Copies of this chain bind each other. A is one copy, B any other.
Amino acid sequence: MKQTLLSLLDAIHSANPELVFEVFFWDGVQTKFGEGEPHFRVRVKSDAALRRLLAAGSLGFADGYIGGDIEVEGDLGALLRLGVDPRFQARRMSWGARLQVLRHALLTRNTMRGARRNIHHHYDLGNDFYKLWLDKSMTYSCAYFETPEDSLEQAQAQKHDHVCRKLRLKPGETLVDIGCGWGGMLIHAAQHYGVRGVGCTLSDQQVAYAQERIRELGLDEQIEVRNQDYRKLKGTFDKFVSIGMFEHVGRRYIPGFMRKTQGLLKPGGVGLLHSIGIEHVKWTGGWVNKYIFPGGYLPRLSEIAGSLSSAGLVTHDVENLRLHYALTLEEWARRFEKHVEDVEAMFDEAFVRKWRLFLNGAAVGFRYGHLRLYQALFANGLEADIPLTRRYMYPEPSPLESSAEPLETA
């Protein structure tokens, strides 16, 4: 078993000879790959953890790492880059591990009740936890960086503004926001574009926070945040937005989500779907679903495009912002580590390892792996008021460059 792992690591190392690392096993066996100071040291502390790693790939690694049977010193991101190597990706999960993933998927389907439970699992960990490492607008999705040096607060305000400009929001228009989180998008659209908005989320804590913030800002007449499943939303709107929620819909519910989207838009209405996606890769297992996002499903761009079209929605524009999400996640991971003692005080060590793995693993996935972030702009039918060219999305100078303060914090 040790030899299987070492052969795999040797093959990956041959393709990345600049990477230096050491592997230690429970029985004292140790191997070093490369010369000089190691980027990281990994300790596999039991035979069971090794078997699990080999049988279940990234899920096996996550089980070991979160459980404490696999320890990593040094650069966790460098280790996680091994996981996106095609040699590692090409390994097949054992049938036992696949059955576990399938069983978990069946237990976490996004029925009306299941969706609420799944969202609760992640988003109701406590606003105090998210406040530790999110920006001030509590925006928990990919930011938009004009340059890599932009602050996170600035980049999130720019993201909201980029979306508003793509949608060409105008005063008095109505906007529906599916999966509105802590309300940052709706608040930006109401404050800077004068729209009237309705948002929904299934997270009790997000609703409480968003409603309070909206009251504080005096926006209660303009925007409303509901504790409601998107499938129960009624009415029609001029504009539609959904940011970082589509990942929670689940594969079998995608056609219904798109039909609902089409139904919520007036004829000629314009919508923007902002979602993580994944390249065409072999199915690589379920550690994120098991530990982070039960019920989640990452679509391919072909699925996004196909399901929009099947619902009668016309795709006008798709932008891949993968590097923006890498920058966002890298900053979240830095802030998380800065406040890691507070996290430990709130939860436990396994929680810290789980989140450290999640934030770093996702950052690696966007920068080096198969994760993508797509913004798809679409219209309900052909009579939409969308300009001939996309020049309108790129005013010079950028509206947020010219203001000293980021708009969001104004």
**Is A305 in contact with B300, judged by CB distance below 8 angstroms?**
yes
Q: Give the residue of B147, B306, B368 whose beta carbon is less than 8 angstroms from that of A280.
A: B306
**Interface presence of A37 (CB below 8 A):** no
Q: Are A306 and B302 in contact (CB under 8 A)?
A: yes
Q: Mark A142-157, 1 if CB is under 8 A from B, else 0.
A: 0011111000000000
Pairwise interchain contact A388-B302, C-beta atoms closer than 8 A:
no
Chain B residues with CB below 8 A from A132, complex form: none
- A372–B315 Cα distance when bound, in Å, is 9
* Contact present for A320 and B314 (CB under 8 Å): yes
Tell me the chain A residues, 325-367 only, with Cβ under 8 Å from chain B: 367
- Say whether, besides A368-B382, A388-B146, A388-B148, A309 and B302 are in contact (CB < 8 Å): yes
A320 — which chain B residues lie within 8 A by C-beta? Answer: 314-317
Contact with B along A387-407 (1 / 0, CB 8 A): 011110110101000000000
Q: Is residue A225 within 8 Å, beta carbon to beta carbon, of the partner chain?
A: no
User: In the complex the two chains form, is A305's CB within 8 Å of B310's CB?
Assistant: no
**Contact (Cβ within 8 A) A317 B315:** no
| Residues of chain B within 8 A of A280, CB atoms compared | 306, 309-310
Number of copies: 2
Can you name the residue of chain B whose Cβ is closest to the Cβ of A377? B320
Q: Does A75 contact B (CB under 8 A)?
A: no
A18 within 8 Å of B (CB atoms): no
Of B302, B316, B390, which contacts A303 at CB under 8 A? B302
Contact with B along A279-292 (1 / 0, CB 8 A): 11000000000000
Q: Which residues of B contact A50 (CB under 8 A)?
A: none
Q: How far is it, in angstroms, between the C-alpha of A240 and the C-alpha of B382 when the chains are bound?
A: 31
Q: A318 on the interface (CB 8 Å rule)?
A: yes
Which applies to chain A's interface (DSSP): helix, strand, loop or mixed? mixed
Query: Nearest B residue to A84 by beta-carbon distance?
Result: B382
- Min Cβ gap A365→B in Å is 11
Cα A315 to Cα B304 with chains together (Å): 13
A147 to chain B, nearest CB (A): 7
A310 CA to B320 CA, complexed, in Å: 17
Complex Cα distance A315/B146, Å?
A: 20
Assess the B145–A319 pair: CB atoms within 8 A. Answer: no
Q: Are B305 and A309 in contact (CB under 8 A)?
A: no
Quick one: given A368-B382, A390-B319, are A305 and B314 in contact (CB under 8 Å)? no
Contact A317 B318 (CB under 8 A): yes
Can you name the residue of chain B whose Cβ is closest to the Cβ of A281? B309
Contact A279 to B309, CB < 8 A, known contacts A303-B302, A388-B323:
yes
Q: Which of chain B's residues has its CB closest to A397's CB?
A: B396
**A324 contacts the other chain (Cβ, under 8 Å)?**
yes
B residues near A319, Cβ cutoff 8 Å:
316-317, 390
Which of these, B306, B367, B393, contacts A300 with CB under 8 Å?
B306
Distance, CA A62 to CA B390, complexed state (A) = 36
Question: What chain B residues lie within 8 Å of A243 (beta carbons)?
Answer: none
Q: What is the minimal beta-carbon distance from A277 to any residue of chain B, in angstroms?
A: 9
- Could you tell me the distance between the alpha carbons of A393 and B393 in the complex, rounded to whole angstroms? 11
Decide if B301 touches A388 in the complex (CB within 8 Å): no
Please indicate which of the listed interface residues A147, A280, A300, A372 has the most CB atoms of chain B within 10 Å of its own CB: A280
B146 pairs with A389, CB closer than 8 A: yes
Chain B residues with CB under 8 Å of A144's CB are 389
Q: How far is the CA of A241 from the CA of B372 in the complex (A)?
A: 23
A315 — which chain B residues lie within 8 A by C-beta?
A: 301, 318, 320
**Apart from A280-B310, A300-B306, A316-B320, 12 more pairs, CB < 8 Å:** A145-B389, A146-B388, A146-B389, A280-B309, A300-B305, A301-B306, A301-B309, A314-B320, A317-B319, A368-B382, A390-B393, A393-B394
A residues adjacent to B (C-beta < 8 A): 144-148, 279-280, 300-303, 305-306, 309-310, 314-320, 323-324, 367-368, 372, 382, 388-391, 393-394, 396, 398
CB-defined A-B contacts under 8 Å, sample of 9: A145-B389, A146-B389, A300-B306, A302-B306, A315-B320, A316-B319, A323-B388, A367-B382, A393-B394
